[in-house]
Structure 1
Amino acid sequence: MLPLTNKEAEIEKNVRACLDKVDIEKIWRFANWSAQFMDAYRCGLTGAQAVWANKKYRGHRVLPNTIMEELDIANCI
């Protein structure tokens, strides 16, 4: 754990040191996962619906335009 500080330069140094410890592949996975959820929320889905849609369309970057119809068929609405 790094020491607490209020100095902006120290904070930036600490953030960079922490990010250097994280594998870049994990950062990319988290970024993609977050983008999928943001797209689901933009489509008007709730949290539970977003989870369902992201499991179903795991390899896709965005959800299809027919997602609301598919949610209705799957009784997720």
Structure 2
Amino acid sequence: MSKYHLLWEYVKKNGGQSFKLTFEEIYNIVGIPIDHSFLKYKKELTEYGYEVGKISMKEQTVIFHKLV
């Protein structure tokens, strides 16, 4: 199981077309901080009907988009 499985489940249950989570919110969901490996794991999200949009290091946010 992926270390971001809890995040992917959260994103799937959110149901929004597009939404933003902060790094802190993601930490609260998953229990681990976002690190460089997130770039490798983000492709798993398509199995849940979403994709990772913009990752802002300055704002410390990640935007998620629902796949059509």
TM-score with structure 2 length normalisation? 0.28
Q: Which has the higher contact order (CA 8 A, sep 6+)?
A: 2
Task: Pick the structure with more strand per residue.
Answer: 2
Higher Cα Rg: structure 1 or 2? 1
Higher helix share: 1
- What TM-score does the superposition give when structure 1 sets the normalisation length? 0.26
